[in-house]
Amino acid sequence: MEEEQLLEQCKREEKELQFRSFSHKDALRLGMDLLKASEEYPGIVGIEIRINHVTVFKYLPDGTGAFHDMWLRRKSNLVDVREMSTLRAFAELAVSKEDLMKDWLLDPAEYAACGGGFPIRIQDGSVVGSICVSGLPHLQDHAILIAGIRRFLEVR
């Protein structure tokens, strides 16, 4: 998929996948939906959900560790600062031919512009947290996020 198409897809997803409200209990339910969505892909993923910069759900299955944890943190950091999905950040950087460090002033050691992070956006437009998945190629991480969030929102 071309970067321009990817960017438009990400914008549509962010507009569509918003929450009426989001509690710690919702984080647990969403985390379990993400775990279920991840079972449709080969490999293992770590999952982290943060509300107001506090981790309220984290799952690192057997076979994951500090490396997965680092990627979750970097993705969450980017969502917190830019209030967009990390895949959208990836596409925006590619389309604009900008650089994460030089143009956005974000250290790649602390911020990851690749698929796997998504904002918890309330329908009033405010971003209250982040949802992150890490462990597979970044487009698959993003696909797990979208599938899990859709599953969560349909049940609610």
Q: Tens-of-pLDDT digits for all 156 residues of the chain?
A: 699 999 999 999 999 999 999 999 999 999 999 999 999 999 999 999 999 999 999 999 999 999 999 999 999 999 999 999 999 999 999 999 999 999 999 999 999 999 999 999 999 999 999 999 999 999 999 999 999 999 999 965
What is the C-alpha separation between 115 and 18, in angstroms, rounded?
18
Q: What is the CATH number of domain 3-155?
A: 3.30.450.150
What is the C-alpha separation between 12 and 55, in angstroms, rounded?
26
- Helix 86-96 × helix 138-155 angle, to 10°: 130
Q: Report pTM.
A: 0.95
- Buried b / exposed e over 114-135, threshold 16 CB at 10 Å, is bbbbbbbbeeeeebebbbbbbb
